[in-house]
Structure 1
Amino acid sequence: MFPYLGLKASTDETQLEERLQHQPEVFEFYTQASDMTPDGLAHLSQMIDRVKSAGVDHVIIHHPMAFDHAHNELAVSALRNPASYQFMMGSTESIIELAKARDVQVLVHGAYNAPLSWIKAQFGSLEAGRELVFDRLDYFKALGGNHVMFENALSPLFRFGEPGFERRIMGHHYRLAYDISHAFIVLHGDNDKLVSSLARLAPQIVHYHLVDSMGQKHDSLPLGQGNIDWVRVKRVLNPNATNIYEITLDDEDNCQAMLDSHNYLKSLDSRSLLVGR
């Protein structure tokens, strides 16, 4: 039942077992480049088995966030950066095929932090960069079907919060992963616009990254420690979606901040009733 106790970890077995002791209902693997080798993919497959054997029904593989000390951007040029392009395409295709075989989900970032200046230098215009991103998202959608979802970024290449661009995204009928802190930062801490964006996209959202923020930079705070109005936000979330708590941890072997965030969100039920009177 939403919200789920959703936890994230790498494929490291110590992290994995620390999370599983709390009996999560959703588990998201955060992969890296080393997980995309033949041995790495075999290990990832084994860890998926371990999570499923613990009774976790909802398993997500987050595509590698970095390659060669840079973000693993979909909008990478095949001509200018062939190695990065080959990694981006090859790794995403590999984990989508694994997800289909193991009946789990893959989360792909539509973009990361690429600023407008970089986009124009690479592609000539924001529109040209967005067209490339849409082309690649369409390809991965066709390849993965109901096993793939796409997450919003801070970059204008693929961000939530702009009504016109959101309607364009909806026109592609993507399954969406909504990172609430990313949108809040894009919207400069405006809770009214955040709630409107969440409500507008809700029918296509299948997964949430629940994380707080002050609305100025990527800070990944526990829920209740930032400026997001969680009482209002919770009312417009899609109850059929899954979620994890994507909190920055001081110690990757201790997910207490994620557990605290889950308890905080659950505690809002009574507060919401009082506010609604």
Structure 2
Amino acid sequence: MNYMRLKGSLDQPSLDNRLSYNPEIIEFYLSATDMQRTDFIRTRIRELKARGVTVYLHHPSRYQHTFLDIMSTNIELRRFYHESTQQLVQICKEEGAKCVLHAHYVRSENTEVSRERTIALREEIAAILEYGREQIVWEDSTEGLFCYSNPYLIDDLIIPLSLPLNVDVSHTFIAFRGDNHKLREVLERTAPYAVYYHLVDSMGQVHDSLPLGEGLIDWQMVKPFVEGKDYIFEINLVGDHSDCTPMVESAKYFAALS
């Protein structure tokens, strides 16, 4: 294990940079435009699998400049959400990859948190699971219904659906305003369902996406929960995002933890 688990785009400079570190996992962050070139997505997966690299596809976050929400009242956004998810699930089934999916983002039109709304979200997610349960992992947001500060999320949605999860450690930390004790509780409760993690540091107040060691997350505490499972270092990059050095430095930091 070399701990090199990286995120990037489909673009060649981005991919070349990441492959220079001999990664074990690469997650491709996709755009709505990328969904118009699904054959190219397949080509990228095959290129990486030939090198022994595990591939995750991150579902597009926006369509027509608007953040996606599974419960959106906008018909076009809902259509794109479902159709693009179906496309990615089919690709993952045939090419041996997995897809990271958000139920919603922070800038959601559905901000009310209640048990009734959580159950309504559960029904929406259950419909998506019909496309392919084994191919999708569900990522949490920093607020809203699919956020671990929602007291109903685990008991009324995740457990009943036995939902495969991608736990974003920084999102959870931010959701509880920098509380490592609450973060540990979530890691413990989600452990039976989490198959994938996003590792990124934070000061716990905003979505700052810091390299490991530059924020307040207790990585010594986190490490036992994620070892033996898939994860990437999802650090904010500058410029054209082709240089993933902060992710590489985070991988070295994580590897050095005892």
- Give TM-score, length-normalised by structure 1: 0.87
Q: Is the 8 A contact 2:113 2:150 kept in 1?
A: no
| Runs of at least 4 residues off by over 6 Å | none
Quote the Cα distance in structure 1 between the aligned partners of 2:194 and 2:113. 28
Quote the Cα distance in structure 2 between the aligned partners of 1:139 and 1:103. 22
| Secondary structure of 2:132's aligned partner | helix
Partner residue, 1:141: 129
Distance change (3 Å), C-alpha of 1:214 and 1:102: same
Quote the Cα distance in structure 1 between the aligned partners of 2:86 and 2:252. 36
* Structure 1: runs of 5 or more not aligned: 270-277
Is 1:28 aligned to 2:23, yes or no?
Answer: no
* Structure 2: runs of 5 or more not aligned: none
Q: Is the 8 A contact 2:209 2:235 kept in 1?
A: yes
Partner residue, 1:14: 13
Is 1:64 aligned to 2:31, yes or no?
Answer: no
Distance change (3 Å), C-alpha of 1:53 and 1:187: same
Moved more, 47-56 or 84-93: 47-56
Distance change (3 Å), C-alpha of 1:76 and 1:231: same
- 1:144, distance to aligned residue in structure 2 (A): 1.1
Distance change (3 Å), C-alpha of 1:163 and 1:232: farther
38, 45, 50: which one pairs with 1:48?
45
Partner residue, 2:232: 244
Note the alpha carbon deviations across 1:59-113, whole angstroms, 9 max, x for none: 1111001111111111212xxx111111111111110111001111011112210
101, 110, 114: which one pairs with 1:119?
110
User: Which amino acid in 2 is paired with 1:100?
Assistant: K
- 1:119, distance to aligned residue in structure 2 (A): 2.3
- Give TM-score, length-normalised by structure 2: 0.93
- 1:4, distance to aligned residue in structure 2 (A): 3.4
Percent identical residues? 34
RMSD in angstroms over aligned alpha carbons?
1.8
Count of aligned positions: 256
Partner residue, 2:75: 82
Q: Is the 8 A contact 1:140 1:148 kept in 2?
A: no
- 1:53, distance to aligned residue in structure 2 (A): 1.9
Task: Within 5 Å, give how 1:196-211 maps onto structure 2.
Answer: 196-211=185-200
- 1:164, distance to aligned residue in structure 2 (A): 4.5
- 1:130, distance to aligned residue in structure 2 (A): 2.7
Partner residue, 2:220: 231
